[in-house]
Structure 1
């Protein structure tokens, strides 16, 4: 049986799907059999990030009852198995979201780690995905609106007894207006397990439909995600660009007492 990890966010635009896709690839590079599913059936984007758009059978077809889940699993980058939700409006209309739990239970038999790219927010589909997972990672930006919305997701996860592994703070800059790591941990009451700096290579990679850790493996965002994947599988990883480490360390100081003014 797979370890199931829901990757969620309180609001759209945090970079959740991109983070989830790249984390899947990074975990695969550490030798894990990884499947990632796009559970955001109404606003599907995972297939675009993974470069497998236009596949004939998708999760929406499975939820509609016309196909088996195995027919919607595709080989993605770095050997990651990908279940796209599909962008067809007709398939979406026929989909029955209540069947998602059944689908996820079948996918657990196909891999070591199952990542669920959840819909943003706290709607019914997001709740179903979160409750089906053993673990939850919440992706946030270092701004109060993102943290406020994430707090609701964490609360729901606690209610449905899904263990919250922690938060990934994404798109971090050195702007003084950003919340510190310590502040984020205090508000959410969960540990920060990863910090991903703002990186223009993320946008460039997305334009080509290639995960950033494959197209720009030495970029600061790539190194942060690979380091997080290493933590999750219990392996040690030293980022390639040591000169950039000071940036992350500077932000992490907030956890241990430093605070941005």
Structure 2
């Protein structure tokens, strides 16, 4: 049975898209058939962070009735399948977000997990992803504005009949993690299911359009994403390292960024 999660946030810039890309990749690396879909048809950043910005057929064409969803699925070397949205304004104008539910009905037969990267904030386009998911996961930063906006998304999710399954506290400072996590959970009335620490490796990996769980698998953020994936999949996660294995992209990153 397919489990559908919508990754949402009350404001832009919380790391929602990076969370979708890395959580989806971590699930795929666990051997789970996973699809991530960019429902933010206006901004369409998911394809950008994974190097799929030049894809000829995207969710835009599918929502415009010009292509079948099977034509807009791209498989990465990790086994993760991605449905990007296009980056053109013309494609955005032609896309009909009301077709998303029909698209999802065709996707669920081919995956164990589907992660939907929802538009940030409150909008007509953002309501459908909240309503069609089995669970909504809220990405929240440890700051007042992010928390206040996340409360609005929680209320909206419940208004449209959806359910918030947990909070992902992203970019948390290590020395304040537990206290902040507890406070946010109490205020929201929702469990904080994982804390992703502030980690420069995420930014370094993004420069190569590669998930941090692939490029820097032993970084603090990677370990957190893998713990979250294991929790969702009901699997055990190994945090063992192999310092002898270094890929070309690792060496290239070290030469540019000075290493980690």
- TM-score using structure 1 length: 0.88
Distance between the aligned counterparts of 2:223 and 2:175, measured in 1? Answer: 21
Name the counterpart of 2:138: 138
The two structures, once aligned, show a CA RMSD in angstroms of 1.7
Distance between the aligned counterparts of 2:170 and 2:86, measured in 1? Answer: 26
SS of corresponding position for 1:145: helix
Distance between the aligned counterparts of 1:177 and 1:167, measured in 2? Answer: 13
Map 1:84-233 → 2, pairs under 5 A = 84-174=84-174, 180-233=180-233
Distance between the aligned counterparts of 2:184 and 2:120, measured in 1? Answer: 19
Cα gap change, 1:116 to 1:4, in 2 (>3 Å): same
Q: Which segments of 5 or more consecutive residues in structure 1 lack a partner in the other structure? A: 242-261
SS of corresponding position for 1:7: strand
Which sits farther off after the overlay, 157-166 or 16-25?
157-166
Q: Which segments of 5 or more consecutive residues in structure 2 lack a partner in the other structure? A: 242-260
Distance between the aligned counterparts of 2:174 and 2:73, measured in 1? Answer: 40
Name the counterpart of 2:56: 56
Cα gap change, 1:107 to 1:53, in 2 (>3 Å): same
Q: Does the 8 Å CA contact 1:6/1:137 hold for their aligned counterparts? A: yes
Q: Does the 8 Å CA contact 1:224/1:239 hold for their aligned counterparts? A: no
- How many aligned residue pairs are there? 241
Distance between the aligned counterparts of 1:183 and 1:11, measured in 2? Answer: 19
Name the counterpart of 2:258: none
The ranges of structure 1 where at least 4 consecutive aligned residues each deviate by more than 3 angstroms after the TM superposition are 174-179, 238-241
Distance between the aligned counterparts of 2:129 and 2:177, measured in 1? Answer: 33
SS of corresponding position for 2:78: helix
Distance between the aligned counterparts of 1:53 and 1:151, measured in 2? Answer: 32
SS of corresponding position for 1:235: coil
